[in-house]
Amino acid sequence: MTASPKRRFWKAEQNNETVLDYFTKVISVVHGMRRNEENIDDFHMMKKILRSLDLEFDHVVVTIQESKDLDDFIVEELMWSLQAHE
């Protein structure tokens, strides 16, 4: 049995994947949720991504959370910021 998109979203973690691969996986799951009419906005997707990154990104996550308003951030900006620290 395949897990629902919602379950895959909440269980998603970056497991030594590149930032691009992880974003691709999360965005794919979010699109599946949206097709099932589950309401997930970009803000919550970005919060999930920041919470589930590998430990090597902890300092970057703290910096982003303290200096940026995620409401004004777009998903691509978050990805570019994280890729710069890969």
Using one digit for the tens of pLDDT, what is the confidence trace for 43-60?
999 999 999 999 999 999
- HSE (side-chain half, CA atoms, 13 Å) at 53: 24
61's tokens: 């996550």
pTM of the model: 0.81
Question: Domain limits of the chain?
Answer: 5-83
Q: How far apart are CA 24 and CA 21, in angstroms?
A: 5
Q: For residue 83, give the amino acid letter.
A: Q
Residue 1 has pLDDT above 60, yes or no: no
